[in-house]
Structures are given as structure tokens and as C-alpha cells.
Amino acid sequence: MKTQYLLGNEAIAYGCLEAPVDFVTGYPGTPSSEVVEVLRDVPDRDYYLEWSVNEKVALENALAAAWCGLRAICTMKHVGLNVAADALMTSAYTGVTGGLVVMSADDPFAHSSQNEQDSRCYALFSRLPCLDPSTIQEAHDMARDAFALSEQFSLPVILRPTTRVCHSKGDTVTGERARSTRKGEFHRDPRQYVVIPAHTRALHPKLNEKQPAIRKALVERGYNTAVIRGPLAVVASGIAAAYVQEVLPADVSFIKIGAYPVDEEWLAAQVSRHEKVLVIEELHPVVEETVRQVAKGVPVSGKKDGVVPYEGELSTAAVAAIMKSFGITPTQAYPAVAPVADLPQRPPILCAGCMHRPVFYAMRRVFRDGIYPSDIGCYTLGLQLGAVDTTICMGAAVTIGSGISHAGEERDVVATIGDSTFFHSGIPGLLNAVYNGARMVLVILDNRITAMTGHQPNPGTGVTVCGAAAPQVSIETICRACGVSWVETVDPYDLASLMATLRAAKEQPGVKVVIARQPCVITARRANLRRGRFEVDPGVCTACGVCIGFGCPAIEKRDEKAFITGLCSGCGVCAQICPAGAIRKETRTEGSR
């Protein structure tokens, strides 16, 4: 036993080591990514570990390992579970032999996500058990124990931390790492693993028959608890339970839901002992709907009567305000304060020297009235440069692009997608676009890494998560195999070539692919690639503002003229766009700033 200051995701990884886990898969996605990375960094690994190309692939690999008797975890962000849902839903029918944990990290407030969906709904939908930690310690303990729970019921278990668990830190007690001793072995059993209708009709009732015992076990294991103290009760789940505990008066009952499905008999008995009940949870009213079903006349407040918001994230201060409006006086009062109003915003921005920026710049010039579907990655920040018109989900740049072209839109469609997103789910869309005769340009922004989530390697990088050499797949060859006859690769730092390539693409019929390739500036810097900085000659600069409009964070205005700061990474694109020829490679030895 050891107390450490751990990130929630680190704590989950430590829980896996204590289980112990035998097989780890995942696709990077904020706020889930660190679990796999922490497990990668463990010395003397005795488990299998991979970054998979998407969440469906990750879950199916982990499911196979669990069928072979191994303990497996598969990590993803909440929207990844949509991609993996096909496998998830039927894995509840087939069940598992070894413990399988599906970690789906939710993101209330959409800090880094396209929506605020609630993974607990997938648990209800699939009838799989789901653990919902309220603290980092619980996240650790639940991860450690989830494998045994999965084996007890022969079902995958969903672990659903939220951003404020995954990316929070705290003093956490961890135990000893256990050693993996299992060797996977597949036992043929078609009635379990071949879900033809005749088999699946027999498997479905088995899944349903397991439910009452699961509900009881989750109370017996202490995940769902009640402390009865007075006529009013607060029911809370997930991190909201931690917020509630901070400000809950001593005479108010506290019913904590840490796992699903909730035992309705047990819950009804707790609720019935109160005059009224307040349910506080983030996102979907999963707990509230159950409480309302069993309340039998006890008034219930929550989202459905407008006391708790449906969207966004909660906080201690928000929970205190909710309690107050319900008629409970919180133990702490928080002042009503407002931020100063008139400050310039500081949104995230593409790095100085990022290869995406010149691509967006060139697209805007070559395709002046183009339509720009885009995708999920750092390059979504191209929105600020006016070069991102749509983003919905992984891979959809290609399919939204082909759909717009088929819809009768006559303007050029120029879609952008990153390398990892292309591997994830862009390829079927490209195949479809070619097959069905779309007219579009697809620009693949190939920086050879999954940058936004923290630089995880992918099939284009040439290494696996564990650092082993892997074949660098050729995006050019994939595109040609999909039937694209016009594929060109270009260096985005060479603006003249980039523009010429885009102009050539514009003239071609059908689906055209331009691959813009430069390593991510962050990985390049880590690899010690130094290009030398650029500087502005103030005597030549005409203060025209062209380079300022380029939007590079290394370019500032000083005394009305452009000035390049120490953030410059030497891509040199600004020197190519300056109409006065005022930007050149730095001649001074000292960095400016």
C-alpha cells in the first residue's frame, strides 16, 4: 500500500496492474488517453498492449482476448463507444470468459468533444454493468475490481469516468502490482460465439436472467449506498457525489449511486423513508429516471423539474446552489463573482510552424468559393482560418464531402482529414466516394502522428505504442487501392508547390487526393529537428498585415510592423507569403524576444 499523487487515468492504470490485466487496447481520445500510456511506461510489461486504429477494432481485439480467458481492458472516449457499439451490444449476449472492462470516458461540458453523450445510457441499452466513479480513489478501486465483477457475471463491464475524474489528481492509495499468469486459449463453442438467430434467441434470455443478481451484487459490493439522516435526501452519482458530500448538511440523507443497474427494490426502500428527494447527476437523468420510477408518491426533484441542468458539468458551487433552490442549506456559501468582461479571448490555436496552417491558407486561395468539410483533430482549429465548414465525427470529412457533391452543390468541395482520422474511419468513406462517383478533393493532413490527443503513434508512424518497429503504411497506396487515380503528395512548407498541386487537383474529375506531409512541429522539436528562426526586416516591412492574417502565434505586431518571436520554428511559410520580401532567415545568433 502506497499513497501517491495520481492523475485519475494513472489511478485507473494502477488498478489494472493490480487486477492484473493481460491485454490492453484503445484508441486515443481526451479524456481517456493516459491509461494506455501509463501502462506502456510500466517497466517489465507482461501484458499485451496496442493502440488500435479505431474503437471498434480495439473492442473486438479485447473481446477476443476475453473469450480466450484473459483479463482485458479497452479504453476510449465516450464518442468512441458509438464506433464500438456494434461489438458492444452483442458482446452482452456472447459474454466473456476472462474479465473485460470497457472504459468509456465521458466529457460533461464537452471540454474536448463534439457532444455530451452519457455512456451510462449504453449500459442500460446493452444491459451491461457500469461503474461510475466519484473520486480518483474509487476510479482506481473500481478498475482493479471490475475484472472480477466481469468474470462473476461473464459479462463485459463498462467503466465510465468523466473528465473531472480522468484529469483530476489526488492522494490515492494503490496496492501491489500483480503478475499476469494467464495464457489465452480459445475454446470452440459456436452456440456462444456464433450469433446466428437460433443461438442469439437463446443467449438473449440468459442476459436478462443475470440482471437481478447483478443489481444485488452492486449493492452488496458497496457501490450503491445510503446513509439515512433526516426527512430530506440527496441522491447523487459520479463526481456529483463528491461535490454533494462537500456541502451536504449533517441532517440530510445521502444516497450514492456508483454502479448500474440500480437495485430498484433497494432504492425504493431508501427513497420511501423521506419526505422529498433531490437527484443530482451530470448529463442524462439516468439515476433520476430510476428514482422517479420507484418513488411512489415521494416528490422527486432533479432535471425533469428544472432544478438540475441537463447539460454541462457541475461543480461544488453549482451543487450548493442547486441544494439551496431545493430547500437544503449547504454547509458552505460561495460568493457570486463574475470574470472581468472585456478581455480578449485566448482560444487554442495551431502551433507556430504547424503544417496545417499553410494548407488552409493555400486552400482558401485556390478554392475561393470552396466548401470545406473537415474532421476531428488539431486541424479543426482551421475554423479560425475560415477553412473548416463542417465537423461532426471521426471520418466524416470524406463522407460529408461526397454527400455535398452528390446533393447538387456545384462549388468545389475540399475536405481535410488527418492521418490518424483517415486510418480510423476515413478509408471506407473514400472507397464509397470513388465507387459512387463523387466530385471532390480530399486533402490528407499527414503529420505522421495522432497529435491532438498527445502524440500517439499510428500505422503511418512506423512504430507501435511499445516502440517496436512497424511497417509505415502508405497512404498513397491505400488511396489508389480505393480507386483514386489522382493522388499527389506535397510538402506544405513549399507554398508554391502546394498551391500548384491544389490547382492541378481542381482541374481533375472525380475524387482527387492531395497528401500534405510534414511531421508535427511538436514531435519534430522533440526529435531535435532545428530549422532556424525567421525574422522581419523592419526597414523593408510595409505593415501590410498579410503575415499577421496568416495567424501564426510567432508573428506579432510591434510599432505597427510585423515581428517574429522566439516561438518561430522555422517553417518559412511567412517568408513565402510576404509581398514585400521583408521576412528572411534569422541572421542574429541570439534568439529574439
Partner 1 sequence: MSESFDVLLVGIGGQGIILASNILGEACIAEGRSVKGAETHGMAQRGGSVEGHIRIDGKFGPLVPPGSARLIIAFDMLEALRYAHFLAPGGTIVSNNRFVVPTSVYMQGAPVPDEAAIRERLSSRPLCVVDAEGIAGEAGNPLSQNVAMIGAASRFLPLKPASLLGAVEKLVPKKTVETNRRAFEMGRAAGERCGGGKAGA
Nearest approach, Cβ of residue 46 and partner 1 (Å): 27
Per the DSSP assignment, residues forming a β-bridge with 562 are 557
- String of DSSP letters for 97-124: SS-EEEEEEB-TT-TTSS----HHHHHH
Nearer to partner 1, 347 or 467 (CB): 347
Q: From the CB of 111, what's the least distance to partner 1, in Å? A: 7
**Nearest-10 crossing angle of helices 78-94, 55-67:** 30
In angstroms, what is the minimal distance from the CB of 588 to partner 1? Answer: 17
Q: Which is nearer to partner 1, 507 or 560 (CB)?
A: 560
Nearer to partner 1, 222 or 549 (CB): 549
Q: Using an 8 Å Cβ cutoff, are 433 and 398 in contact?
A: yes
Nearest Cα to Cα of residue 102 among 147, 163, 133, 167: 147
Cβ at position 220, least distance to partner 1 in Å: 26
Residue 131: how many CB atoms within 10 A of its CB?
26
User: For partner 1, which is the closer residue by CB, 164 or 210?
Assistant: 164
- Please spell the DSSP secondary structure of 192-257, one letter per residue: HH---HHHHHHHHHHHHHHHHHHHHHHHHTTSEEEE--SSEEEEEEHHHHHHHHHH--TTSEEEEE
| Residue closer to partner 1, measured from CB, 126 or 163 | 163
Angle, helices 356-366 vs 495-507, to 10°: value is 50
Under the rule (CB under 8 A), what is the footprint of partner 1?
3-5, 30-31, 34, 111-112, 164, 167-171, 239, 242-243, 245-246, 315-317, 332, 334-340, 343-351, 378, 380-381, 384, 452-454, 545, 548-549, 551-553, 555-557
Residues 280 and 234 sit within 8 Å (Cβ to Cβ): yes
Nearest approach, Cβ of 565 to partner 1 (angstroms)? 9
The nearest distance, CB 206 to partner 1, in angstroms, is: 40
Give the span between the Cα atoms of 219 and 528, in whole angstroms: 54
Instruction: Name which of 41 and 189 has its Cβ closer to partner 1.
Output: 41
For residue 66, the minimal CB distance to partner 1 (Å) is 29
Taking the least distance from each CB to partner 1, the nearer of 30 and 150 is 30
Q: Are 372 and 405 in contact (CB under 8 A)?
A: no
Which grid coordinates belong to 458?
A: 499510428
State residue 43 phi and psi, 5-degree precision.
-65, 150
Comparison of 88 and 142: residue with beta carbon closer to partner 1? 142
Name 445's Cβ contacts closer than 8 Å, sequence gap at least 6: 355, 356, 359, 377, 379, 416, 417, 418, 419, 516
Q: Least distance (Å) from partner 1 to the CB of residue 388?
A: 14
